[in-house]
Amino acid sequence: MTQPWSAPTASEPVHATVAVPGSKSITNRALVLSALSDGGGTLTGALRSRDSDLMVGALRALGVPVEVDGTGVRVGPHQGLSGPADVDCGLAGTVMRFVPPVAAVADGDVAFDGDPRARERPMGTVLDALRALGAVVEGDTLPFTLRGKGNLPGGTVTIDASASSQFVSGLLLAGARYDQGLTVHHDGKPVPSLPHIDMTVAMLREAGVEVDDAEPNTWRVAPGPVGTRDWTVEPDLSNATPFLAAAAVTGGSVTVPDWPANTTQPGDVIGDIAARMGCEVTRDAGGLTVTGPEQLTGIDVDLHDVGELTPTVAAMAALAGGPSVLRGIAHLRGHETDRLAALVAEITGLGGDANETEDGLQIRPAPLHGGTWHAYADHRMATAGAIVGLLVPGVEVDDIATTAKTLPDFPAMWTAMLRNEAGGSR
């Protein structure tokens, strides 16, 4: 049973420096690429969280030696992936969408399952693609079984990835190990979170894999080896956004150190969003700093490419002085929970004024009051409740422990940030 967490209220503007753990997106991609390399690889600064631990468990189940020492990970050489194996996906989209294309080159049966909500998340796109490329898969959603034969012919496949960029990334990560390589055509509405596909392509190239993405909505991966390399993982910029939002909503100042000057992480756009809502944003050798105004302004913004930031932006909008429109995020209805319905329910449940549109949310200023903020087993919903609680006394997040999906100890980090709220030692 989960215990309600009383979201602490900020008595003064928040002033702090908050170092965040490594990027989940980079960590799990580096783990997959290291597992596909005959020589393995190492990760420095890797994220330790439920999602990354599930990825490590999945690769170990397939016979890949993985040693974890704090934020350092070593993936050892091996003689090939093998079953029989059972893979627990939990609620990790990267595990349920990235590991099946990898398991397609394993020798033996690989059974996949996950949390109850994971069984509701769309999987047919990637499983049908694997079938078209020569794999034998029983089932269309979790649980399903992939009957590996030790190799996969590969070739060309056309998919509709409008529900998730992870469908494309998962296929591309394994494509070099298919006999004919892989060409993926997307045919449908625009792919959400395209920066995540850019991240995948960039990391494949860093591993020595030839990728051609010159043609829109088409990605070609040449067959060949995946190089052994040492990966340095950037801080998780999306996980940094709740802490930066704390500065924005309280009129304080928060710095996240080691913010990369150039990155493929979608979370980098939080600086532009905060600036549009009236914040002062600076980037320098010390990191990225957000300083909030006396009152945030509303925003009209398309979050199609950065949908994971929606709960943070919605929480900021609920505390702003003007109306906001968040667009381009219909695909969030298929995430850990239906994030659009969840955000409307929780904002209005505290007295706010919000409604769904066809592709997003409308949020208008309204006095908020305390009450229960439901997390829906969704880490980003939980952190959104914490942001609202900074200005609204009496907010209780029903399941703060779900933040362990990507942030190992969010409550302690949040409390530590608030201890500096009067501008003390940084």
* Residues noted as catalytic: 308
Secondary structure in 3-state letters for 164-180: CCHHHHHHHHHHCCCCC
24 annotated as belonging to a binding site for a ligand = yes
164 annotated as belonging to a binding site for a ligand = yes
185 annotated as belonging to a binding site for a ligand = no
Q: What angle do CA 201, 65, 183 make, to 5 degrees?
A: 25
97 annotated as belonging to a binding site for a ligand = no
- How many other C-beta atoms can be found within 10 angstroms of the C-beta atom of residue 212? 12
Report helix angle 93-103 to 124-132, nearest 10. Answer: 10
Q: Is-contact 27 43, C-beta < 8 A?
A: yes
Q: Is-contact 316 277, C-beta < 8 A?
A: yes
Q: What angle do CA 25, 284, 44 make, to 5 degrees?
A: 35
189 annotated as belonging to a binding site for a ligand = no
Q: Per-residue DSSP letters for 337-406?
A: S-HHHHHHHHHHHTT-EEEE-SSSEEEE------EEE--TT-HHHHHHHHHHHTTSTTEEETTGGGGGGT
Q: Of 4, 7, 2, 6, which Cα lies nearest the Cα of 246?
A: 7
74 annotated as belonging to a binding site for a ligand = no
166 annotated as belonging to a binding site for a ligand = yes
121 annotated as belonging to a binding site for a ligand = yes
3-class DSSP assignment, residue 310: helix
- The sign of the dihedral angle between the CA atoms of 381, 29, 204, 202 is positive
Neighbour order of strands in the sheet with 371-373: 5-6, 395-397, 371-373
Measure the CA–CA gap between 419 and 399, rounded to whole angstroms. 23
193 annotated as belonging to a binding site for a ligand = yes
Tokens 């928060």, residue located = 254
335 annotated as belonging to a binding site for a ligand = yes
379 annotated as belonging to a binding site for a ligand = no
52 annotated as belonging to a binding site for a ligand = no
Residue numbers in the known binding site are 24-25, 29, 93, 121, 164-166, 193, 308, 335, 339, 380, 405
Residue numbers in the known binding site for phosphoenolpyruvate are 24, 93, 121, 166, 339, 380, 405
Residue numbers in the known binding site for 3-phosphoshikimate are 24-25, 29, 164-166, 193, 308, 335
